[in-house]
């Protein structure tokens, strides 16, 4: 039976109760970046299938992929790849029992953010 004297308190802690922390945000972004990578991969597969289908269809798909919108999606995919990889590296370090202190975990979170942007920039320069 429910406690009628509990007042206007929530049943359990939830997102509106807690202040977002760097580690929770970076963890959520790792999951989002993984899903974004799937979208980028599907676009590349679509491009390859169009190349195998015929010249006119390939021209249409290639025009979309190489448009400004396509370039932005591919740039986001490069960032997502680096961010997701650095997030996986962070979890490998955590799985070994290192870097679990709040200060160290925060530094690794900032390292993921800064590192993914820097590696994306370097990748774009290399291409």
Assess contact for 40 and 72: CB atoms under 8 A: no
pLDDT tens for residues 30-82? Answer: 999 999 999 999 999 999 999 999 999 999 999 999 999 999 999 999 999 99
Domain boundaries 22-126, CATH class: mainly alpha
User: Per-domain residue ranges for the chain?
Assistant: 22-126
Q: Provide the whole-model pTM.
A: 0.82
**91 is known to lie in a ligand binding site:** no
Q: What is the pLDDT of residue 10?
A: 62
CA distances 85 to 27, 36, 82, 104, Å, are 12, 13, 5, 18
Average pLDDT over residues 7-29: 80
pLDDT tens for residues 75-117? Answer: 999 999 999 999 999 999 999 999 999 999 999 999 999 999 9
């Amino acid at each position: 039976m429910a406690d009628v004297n509990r007042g206007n308190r929530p049943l359990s802690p939830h997102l509106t109760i807690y202040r977002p922390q760097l580690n929770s945000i970076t963890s959520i972004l790792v999951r989002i970046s993984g899903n974004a990578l799937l979208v980028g991969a599907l676009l590349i597969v679509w491009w390859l299938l169009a190349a195998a289908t015929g010249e006119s269809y390939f021209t249409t798909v290639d025009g979309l992929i190489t448009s400004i919108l396509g370039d932005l999606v591919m740039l986001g995919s490069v960032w997502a790849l680096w961010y997701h990889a650095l997030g996986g590296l962070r979890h490998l370090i955590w799985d070994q029992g290192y870097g679990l202190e709040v200060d160290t975990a925060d530094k690794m979170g900032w390292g993921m953010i800064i590192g993914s942007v820097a590696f994306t920039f370097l990748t774009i320069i290399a291409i």
